[in-house]
Structure formats: structure tokens, C-alpha cells
């Protein structure tokens, strides 16, 4: 990864006191990670987009992770943001409890978030509040669960030609 013109020191000085920020650090690969308050995600992204030194205009990816062992923060929505002019990349994370898996939709800020949020809903069941059309996008419509939550088996349970002894199940 090419280094950005914005150093982590400058960045943390500018954003260290943002009201939506919980904490931030730079990882071993030089990527800036921010943990933010899930309820203020729209404000956070709009603020970062208006950052004068490096306006962060591009949502590279949006996904989620399930950590069943993290009580109260089982789900995490991850936003990958990119400033194209300064080559500054951010990984912004918002933790959610599994019982209240809802977060504001970013569709009002980035139109490209639409399908990524649908995908994240499809696989993790996270409700993106304010999304114009939150329905499954990749899995079949009849599916009645969210397959990447860790309580569900990856394997197809209807498969009958596998002998458990040979497949470690």
C-alpha cells in the first residue's frame, strides 16, 4: 500500500476528539482503524467526507463480522473508506449487540451503499434503518435465516453422501 500524504499523527490530532469516536489506532500495515458509535455513523461519515485535508468521498466496501463471544458487541459493521486525492484509507467499525442489530443506513450519503447493505442484511440480518429496499440480494428469497451468523452450520444439512468418519463431522 502506498503511504498517504496524511500521517496518523496529523489524522489523530484532527479527529481524536470527534464526538462519535470511541478509539482509533493504526495497524501493522499502516491502515487507520476507528471504532465509532453505531448510532452516529451517518454523522461520522459526513464529517469525514467534509475533511478539508483529505475528503473521504469513496465507500470501498461495507461488510460485517460476527463475534459470538463478545457479549453485547456480537456484531460489527465495517466500513472501508478511501480518500482518492490523498490516498488515505480508513477502516471504520461500529459494534452492535446481537439483540439490537440495527444501524442507520448510509444510503443517504453513498448511493453505492444500497446493495452492500442488502448483502450485509442478507448474511447477518443487520437492519439498516432508512434503507429504501432492504431485502435479500444474493441468497434465495425463501431462505429463513442469515447464514453467516456463526450459530448456523456452513454445510448443507440435507447432504447425505458424506460419511462423518471421513469428513471429521
Q: Among positive and negative, which fits the CA dihedral 133, 116, 149, 39?
A: negative
CB of 137 to another protein, least distance (A): 11
Of 9-17, 89-97, 98-106, 157-165, the segment contacting another protein by CB under 8 A is 157-165
Q: If binding is defined by CB under 8 A, does position 25 make contact with another protein?
A: no
Burial of 86 (0-12, 13-18, 19+ CB in 10 A): middle
Q: If binding is defined by CB under 8 A, does position 69 make contact with another protein?
A: no
Q: Of the two residues 53 and 152, which places its CB atom closer to another protein in the complex?
A: 152
Of 50-58, 60-68, 88-96, 145-153, the segment contacting another protein by CB under 8 A is 145-153
Tell me which residue of 156, 117, 154, 155 sits closest to 137, measured CA to CA.
117
CB of 80 to another protein, least distance (A): 24
CB 75 within 8 A of CB 101: yes
Percent of the chain that is helix, strand, coil (3-state, to 5)? 25, 25, 50
Give residues 84-143 in contact with another protein (rule: CB under 8 A). 138-140, 143
Of 17-25, 29-37, 103-111, 153-161, the segment contacting another protein by CB under 8 A is 153-161
Q: If binding is defined by CB under 8 A, does position 164 make contact with another protein?
A: no
What's the half-sphere exposure (Cβ side, CA atoms, 13 Å) at 8?
14
Q: If binding is defined by CB under 8 A, does position 156 make contact with another protein?
A: yes
Task: List, in order, residues 6 or more apart from 117 with CB less than 8 Å away.
Answer: 62, 105, 106, 107, 128, 131, 134
Site for another protein, rule CB under 8 A: 138-140, 143, 147, 152-156, 158-159, 161-162
Amino acid at each position: 500500500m502506498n503511504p498517504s500524504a496524511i500521517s496518523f499523527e496529523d489524522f489523530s490530532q484532527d479527529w481524536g476528539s470527534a464526538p462519535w469516536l470511541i478509539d482509533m489506532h493504526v495497524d501493522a500495515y499502516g491502515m487507520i482503524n476507528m471504532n465509532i458509535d453505531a448510532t452516529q455513523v451517518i454523522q461520522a461519515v459526513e464529517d469525514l467526507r467534509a475533511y478539508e485535508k483529505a475528503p473521504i468521498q469513496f465507500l470501498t466496501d461495507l461488510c460485517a463480522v460476527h463475534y459470538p463471544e463478545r457479549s453485547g458487541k456480537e456484531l460489527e459493521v465495517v466500513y472501508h473508506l478511501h480518500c482518492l486525492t490523498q490516498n488515505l484509507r480508513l477502516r471504520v467499525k461500529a459494534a452492535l449487540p446481537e439483540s439490537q442489530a440495527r444501524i442507520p443506513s448510509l444510503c443517504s450519503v453513498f448511493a453505492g451503499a444500497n446493495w452492500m447493505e442488502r448483502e450485509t442484511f442478507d448474511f447477518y440480518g443487520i437492519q439498516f434503518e432508512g434503507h429504501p429496499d432492504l431485502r435479500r440480494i444474493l441468497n434465495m428469497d425463501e431462505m429463513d435465516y442469515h447464514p453467516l451468523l456463526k450459530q448456523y452450520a456452513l454445510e448443507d444439512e440435507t447432504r447425505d453422501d458424506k460419511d462423518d468418519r471421513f469428513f471429521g463431522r
